[in-house]
Amino acid sequence: MKLLRRAADRYEFLFGRREQHVFCEVLRAFPVTPLEHHRVTRGTATPALSGAQQLLHEALTDFKQEARRRLELFLAETHRFAPHRDGLRASFTGEEMEWLLQVLNDIRVGSWLQLGCPDPDTGQRPKLTPENARYLPLMEAAGAFEYALLAALDGTEGVGWGPLRRDD
Amino acid sequence: MAEIAAPVERPEVESGDQTAPLRGREPGYLVVCWNDPVNLMVYVTHVFMVVFGWPKPKAEQHMLEVHTKGRSVLERASLERAEFYVHKLQAYGLQATLERDDT
């Protein structure tokens, strides 16, 4: 996933063919983060904060339902990815970039939860089982696509990850 | 927070940061962001810039505080306003909470 150009509020990317397939498959996993993960406070529960917790869950339920509806439309758009000499070309508005970041990060965080919340800083590795193994590549791929989007928004080449060079 | 490959330059610390709780102000709520090993550092910085409209150095300062100290107070506000920010931050997948500020 490589930024080709930015014009006004549009960001045009080049995807390898396999890469575009992976991108869509990763997005298809949304939502992954369970509602229970979202806590409004770590402090003492008060009536005001109990109400705030309920409001948060309602707001995020609406947000995720709308994002899922929008995602289905996005994935069904046959003209979203146009053929290019080196793969497929797609452009996103700034608003779509933000939405994609939110969707991808939900997938990344939810996958991390499924893997037992591994922490590389403390040497804690993912707790892999046959049931959750698919979340490891999902988490890493979502993060890689996030990097590419963030680098485009930031006007940099990106860090820690480069686009795939060969297809098929 | 998940590390990035490139170093992040530590920004200048602003004097008189308006997000710091001050004595003598009306009781309110703190919007706190907590560290986790999954959210990318560049992502957290970006989200702070979008949600609060902060310039990059200030967003990076708070991101680094989250990363090194485990949490950062991002804003002090009324319950309604603090909820607004927490909803925005959690929609981006950050571990943001509101805590009663009794100082």
Query: B83 and chain A: CB distance < 8 Å anywhere?
Result: yes
ipTM given for this complex: 0.90
CA A71 to chain CA mean position, Å: 11
Joined together, the tokens standing for residue A32 give 């992954």
Distance CA B31, CA B26 (A): 15
Query: B66 and chain A: CB distance < 8 Å anywhere?
Result: no
How far does the CA of residue B70 sit from the closest CA of chain A (Å)?
13
Distance CA B90, CA A4 (A): 31
Which of A38, A58, A153, A154 to mutate to probe the B interface, most B CBs <10 Å?
A: A38
For residue B8, the chain A residues in CB contact (below 8 A) are: none
pTM score, whole prediction: 0.86
Distance CA A18, CA A100 (A): 19
Spatial CB neighbours of B76, under 8 Å, sequence gap ≥ 6: B19, B20, B21, B25, B28, B29, B30, B31, B101
| Interface touch A42/B99, C-beta < 8 Å | yes
Q: Supply the pLDDT for residue A6.
A: 92
Residue A8: which region, alpha, beta or left (left: phi > 0; alpha: psi -120 to 50)? left
| Interface touch A108/B97, C-beta < 8 Å | no
| Interface touch B87/A56, C-beta < 8 Å | yes
For residue A112, the chain B residues in CB contact (below 8 A) are: 37-38
Query: B42 and chain A: CB distance < 8 Å anywhere?
Result: yes
Query: B13 and chain A: CB distance < 8 Å anywhere?
Result: no
Q: Supply the pLDDT for residue A43.
A: 85
B20-43 burial code (b ≥16 CB/10 A, e <16) = eeeeeeeebbbbbbebbebbbbbb
Count how many pairs of residues, chain A against chain B, have C-beta atoms within 8 Å: 89
Q: Supply the pLDDT for residue B20.
A: 47
Using CB atoms, which residue from A40, A48, A161 is nearest to B97? A40
Q: Is the confidence at residue B28, as pLDDT, over 60?
A: yes
Our CA angle for A45, B64, A44, nearest 5°, is 5
Q: What is the pLDDT of residues B54-88, one digit of tens each?
A: 999 999 999 999 999 999 999 999 999 999 999 99
Domain ranges (residues) in chain B = 27-101
3-state secondary structure of A121: helix
Instruction: List the pLDDT tens digit at each of the 168 positions of chain A.
Output: 999 999 989 999 999 999 999 999 999 999 999 999 999 999 887 888 889 999 999 999 999 999 999 999 999 998 999 999 999 999 999 999 999 999 999 999 999 999 999 998 888 999 899 999 999 999 999 999 999 999 999 887 554 444 444 443
Using CB atoms, which residue from B32, B43, B87 is nearest to A150? B43
3-state helix, strand, coil in chain B (%, to 5): 40, 20, 40
Dihedral sign, CA of B71, B89, A109, A13? negative
| Interface touch A49/B98, C-beta < 8 Å | yes
Using CB atoms, which residue from B3, B46, B91 is nearest to A60? B91
Query: Which CATH number is associated with domain B27-101?
Result: 3.30.1390.10
**How confident is the prediction for chain B on average, in pLDDT?**
84
Q: Supply the pLDDT for residue A148.
A: 95
DSSP state of A144: H
Which of B49, B85, B87 to mutate to probe the A interface, most A CBs <10 Å?
A: B87
